[in-house]
Structure 1
Amino acid sequence: MKRFNIKYLSVFLSISFFLASSFSILAQDRGNTTENYDFGNKWKFGGGLGIGFGSGYTDIMIAPSALYQVNPYFSVGTGLQGSYISSKNRSYYNSNIKEYNSWIYGGSIIALSNPIPQIQLSAELEQLRVNNTYKYHEGQKIDDNFWNTALFLGVGYSQGPVTVGVRYNVLYKEKDMVYGSAYMPFVRFYF
């Protein structure tokens, strides 16, 4: 079983501190840009919702999050994630699996920075609990439960409340079977 490692948290906090301090200096150089910043409206809410259905396949995901806008260039926040995946009577490569179910839930710490309004840099430390159940044709049932830690670094193009981009999981391990690849495209909405 995997345990949360404090080393990942320290890497995330170091990156966040570097981004916050560098963009605070940048904000001071931008003249009167900060005069238009609304300090009374610092909270943004958003997240993601995903639903997929197919022949014997169900995938439901919800991921709400909240951000605190530290200054016009930097925000920090937290998020929750929960998903359910079920696959029945599908063929798996080199497998005798009849049914697969997975419950995944956890949280994340998020840091976003916009050095210019159109470009968004991100760092996200995510800790998920993964509960997989495999049922085989001969009646055998195997539970595979573990913790998965991910550290995503990303870049995206922002237009208003929407950002489209790609992020990379620097802690990706194929054997964890949580994500199909270290690279993940994303669409973020915050209002």
Structure 2
Amino acid sequence: MKKNSVMNLTLLLAFVFLFGIKSEIFAQENTQMKTKSDFWNHVQFGGGLGLGIGNGYADIMVAPSAIYNFNDYVSAGLGLQYNYVKQRDFYNANMYGGSLIALFQPFYELQISAELEQLRISRTYENSIENTSQNFWNTALFVGAGFRNENVTFGVRYNVLHRDRDNIYAEAFMPFVRVFF
């Protein structure tokens, strides 16, 4: 009788041990799945598109971006940018690069931003005397503020690294429209 009790107790412990581990494994898998899907619930995609066409002039810009919302007040993300500008018989430029962006919303309607942008510039000036080509990196650090309504923010930003020479932006202040879905 004693031998059967020990055997039954051993089987019972083995049964509890095996099913206890199995349920713990499933609990960890469910937690990991929940965490993974929760990440994408905080991600927003957006960016900007630009098109300017005139007599002998074209300006085409594509700038996708994505941000992660840490909470209702703080977001951060990455962006890419490509810009092509051509003025017939005068100017031709290709600009591409990326950016890091941080957004702070102290209350719903106000969005404060900081954006570090690094662009590779390849441009050519053409005239009847000579052609001049330039290839360089342009770094900009924008600090801005805007009015936010749902997914759209309208505002102005200031490039604190702006220089009049060797810069692709004519002015340090720039208006912006930011859209995230």
Give the number of equivalent residue pairs.
Answer: 144
Secondary structure of the structure 2 residue equivalent to 1:177? coil
> Structure 2 length normalisation: TM-score?
0.77
Matched, 1:123 2:114: yes
Picking from 116, 137, 151, the partner of 1:161 is 151
Structure number with greater Rg is: 2
Aligned-pair Cα RMSD in Å = 1.3
Secondary structure of the structure 2 residue equivalent to 1:148? strand
2:96 and 2:116 map into 1 onto residues whose CA distance is 14
Counterpart of 2:15?
none
- Listed as ranges, the gaps of 5+ residues in structure 1 are 1-37, 89-97
> Structure 1 length normalisation: TM-score?
0.73
1:142 and 1:131 map into 2 onto residues whose CA distance is 11
Of the structure 1 ranges 171-180 and 50-59, higher mean CA displacement relative to structure 2 is found in: 171-180
Counterpart of 2:86?
86
1:150 and 1:189 map into 2 onto residues whose CA distance is 21
Q: Give the deviation of 1:70 after TM superposition.
A: 0.8
Counterpart of 1:76?
76
Divergent runs of 4+, >4 A = none
- Is the alpha carbon distance of 1:74 and 1:186 closer, same or farther for their aligned partners in structure 2, counting shifts above 3 Å? same
Answer yes or no: is the 8 Å Cα contact 2:138–2:167 preserved in 1: no
Higher RCO (CA-CA < 8 Å; seq separation 6+):
1
Counterpart of 1:24?
none
Counterpart of 2:162?
172
Q: Give the deviation of 1:134 after TM superposition.
A: 1.5
Answer yes or no: is the 8 Å Cα contact 2:76–2:102 preserved in 1: yes
1:71 and 1:39 map into 2 onto residues whose CA distance is 12
Counterpart of 1:30?
none
Q: Give the deviation of 1:39 after TM superposition.
A: 7.2
2:95 and 2:40 map into 1 onto residues whose CA distance is 36
Counterpart of 1:31?
none
- 1:28-39 matched pairs, under 5 angstroms: none
Secondary structure of the structure 1 residue equivalent to 2:90? strand
Counterpart of 2:171?
181
Q: Give the deviation of 1:153 after TM superposition.
A: 0.3
